Structure 1
Amino acid sequence: MDEKFNFILSIVLIPQTVGLIVNNEGLDDISAMNEFYNSQTYEMLAKEETKMWHFSPMTIYSMWKHEKETGQLVFPEE
């Protein structure tokens, strides 16, 4: 699963989530990547056992946005 997990993160989830940050927050690519990579949301996403890779980029973006606004990481209810 390690290769598949890394593929999903690097090719799908991270670029699309950063793209949402760029489009919705008005940040440039580098700033958006820095903001995302320095978040608790990314820290949890990078841990395969959290299963956050099952979430859509929009859900991950919403989690990141909530964390940015409140300082708290909240997992969506399933």
Structure 2
Amino acid sequence: MKRTSVEILDFYDEEVIKLIVEKYAFEPMVALRRFLASETYKMLSNAELEMWEFAPAAIFDMWENEQITGDPRNSLYLRRDGHV
């Protein structure tokens, strides 16, 4: 697996963590740990998936769906069931 560049990951880390802190009132380090441990982050780190095509809000939505359903692929940004 080719990894996404550090610069891109740093940008998403900062932006997605802000969204998590804002919505869930987590401490920034707690939000960072939860994001880094997520399947969403693993997908973002995989350069072959080209997740940098999504805005930070979309990555946040994937992370949030993962927290609720256990799978970031349940996000409207990734679902292919035509229910958009």
Q: Equivalent residue for 2:57?
A: 58
Say yes or no: does 1:45 pair with 2:44: yes
Q: 2: CA distance between counterparts of 1:59 and 1:19?
A: 13
Give the paired residue count.
Answer: 75
Runs of 4+ in structure 1 off by over 3 angstroms are none
Say yes or no: does 1:8 pair with 2:8: yes
- CA RMSD in angstroms, aligned pairs only: 2.0
Q: Which amino acid aligns with 1:5?
A: S
Query: Is the Cα contact below 8 Å between 2:64 and 2:72 reproduced in 1?
Result: no
- Higher alpha-carbon Rg: 2
Aligned to 1:18, the other structure's residue is in SS state helix
Q: Which amino acid aligns with 1:64?
A: W
Aligned to 2:72, the other structure's residue is in SS state coil
Aligned to 1:27, the other structure's residue is in SS state coil
Q: 1: CA distance between counterparts of 2:55 and 2:12?
A: 7
Q: Equivalent residue for 1:22?
A: 21
Aligned-pair distance for 1:13?
1.3
Which whole-Å deviations, capped at 9, do the CAs of 1:28-66 have from their partners, x for residues lacking one? 001000110010000110111111111111000000000
* Structure with a larger share of its residues in helix: 1
Identity %: 31
Aligned-pair distance for 1:6?
2.2
